[in-house]
Amino acid sequence: MKIAVLPGDGIGTEIVTEALKVLKALDLNLTLETALVGGAAFEAHGHPLPESTLQLAMASDAVLFGAVGDWKYDTLDRPLRPEQAILGLRKNLGLFANFRPAICYKQLTDASSLKPELVAGLDILIIRELTGDIYFGQPRGRRIATDGHFPGSEEAFDTMRYSRPEIERIAHIAFQAAQKRSKRVTSVDKANVLETFQFWKDIVSEVGKQYPDVALDHMYVDNAAMQLVKAPKKFDVVVTGNMFGDILSDAAAMLTGSIGMLPSASLNAKNQGLYEPSHGSAPDIAGQGVANPLATILSAAMMLRFSLNQPEAASRIEAAVDTVLSQGLRTPDIYSPGTNKVSTREMGDAVVKALK
C-alpha cells in the first residue's frame, strides 16, 4: 500500500508529521513517499504541482495531503498559485466524490455555535459531487480583466449542467455509504426551480430503487440549509451537487466547533483518494506548534477505511482521538477552561499513546 505524502505549506508540515506518527504506530505495511506541493513546490521547482509530485500521486493508492497556500503567493499568476495544486490533483486523479463528515464529539459540544443539545452526538456525512455542476459548465475559462470586471459586457453567466453518468455514480456512492451507516440518504436539490436538479432528483430516485434497504428523501437546498441549523441530527448521509455541497458542508463544519477537527476525502472510481483536513494552511499560526492535528489524523483514518481497506485500523485511530478528547487534551482552537492545553506535537503523541 503506497501513500503519497504531500505536506504542503504553513501548518501542513506540522500536522502531517503528527498523522504520519500515528500511521507508523499502527505497524501496517505502508510505503510512505513524501513530495513537495503548493508554495513549497513553487519555491523549489517553479510550479505548485510539479510533474514528479503528480506522477507520485497517480502511482499511489492514496494521497495524504496537508494544506497549501500563503498570502505571499497572492500576486502570482493564477496557474502558479499554491491552491492550483489541489485542482490539478482532483482533475488528474478524477476525484469526483467528496466526503465531508461533520461529527460533533460529545467532549466538544460547548465549542459549537449551536446549543449543546442540538449537536451532541451529531454525525453527518455530506457527499458532494466534485467535478460537475455550475463550477464546470460554460463559460469555464472565460478571462476576467485584471480589475475584476468583464470588459465591454453588461452581463455574466455560468451554466449549470450534470450528465446522467455523473449523477448515477455519485448516487451509488451515497447509497453504498448509507448502507454502512444508518441507511438513510437525503438528496439535496433545487428541483422546484432548476431543470438540472429535477434531472438530478429523478436519477437519484432511479438509482435508489437498487438500494431498497436505504431510505431516500429529497430536500430543497434552502430547506436543507435551514434544517442543518435547526435540527442537524435529522440528517445522516446527505448527497448533493458541487455548489450546494460546497456551501452546506462548510455550514455543517461549523456545527462541530472547530475546523481543526474536520477530515475530508475525495475519491475516484477506483477508490483512489486524496485525504486532507478541511482547513487551509493557516499562515497566521504556522510554525508556532499550536495547530490542531486531529483533522489530519482523522483524514488518515478515512484513508485507511476508504482506499486501503483497513477499517479496523481506521476505527482504532478514531477511538484514540475520542480518548484524548476525553482525557481533556485540547489544542488552543478547542480549548475551554478546565481542560488541558497542549501543542500540536503533544496532541499527536497523545493519540499514539491512546492507540496502544
Smallest gap, in angstroms, from Cβ of residue 283 to ligand NAD?
Answer: 6
Binding mask 41-80 for ligand NAD (x = CB under 6 A): --------------------------xxxx----------
CA 19 to chain centre: 16
Catalytic residue status for 27: no
- Using CB under 6 A as the binding rule, the residues of this chain from 84 to 103 that contact ligand NAD are 86
Which range of residues in 26-34, 87-95, 248-256, 273-281 is near ligand NAD by CB under 6 A? 273-281
Alpha-carbon gap, residue 250 to 27, rounded angstroms: 34
Q: Which DSSP letter does residue 331 get?
A: -
119: which 3 cell numbers? 449537536
> How far are the Cα atoms of 7, 190, 248, 267, 277 from residue 169, in angstroms, in the given order?
30, 19, 20, 11, 24
Minimal distance, residue 252 CB to ligand NAD, in Å: 16
**What single letter denotes the amino acid at residue 59?**
A
Q: Which of 37, 282, 320, 350 binds ligand NAD (CB under 6 A)?
A: 282
Half-sphere exposure of 158 (CA within 13 A, CB side): 11
Q: What are phi and psi of 115, to 5 degrees?
A: -60, 140
Sign of CA dihedral 318, 274, 18, 305: positive
CA 230, CA 124: separation in Å to the nearest integer? 14
Rounded Cα distance, 100 and 65, in Å: 15
- List 123, 135, 202, 233, catalytic entry: 135
Per-residue x/- mask for ligand NAD, residues 289 to 318, rule CB under 6 A?
--xx--x-----------------------
Using the rule CB under 6 A, is 19 a contact of ligand NAD? Answer: no
Q: Does 324 bind ligand NAD (CB under 6 A)?
A: no
**105 is known as an active-site residue:** no
Q: Do β-strands 62-67 and 340-341 pair in parallel, antiparallel, or remain unpaired?
A: unpaired
Residue from 186, 249, 256, 281 binding ligand NAD (CB under 6 A): 281
Which residues sit at the interface with ligand NAD, rule CB under 6 A? 11, 15, 67-70, 83, 86, 259-260, 276, 279-285, 291-292, 295, 333
Give catalytic residue positions.
135, 190, 222, 246, 250
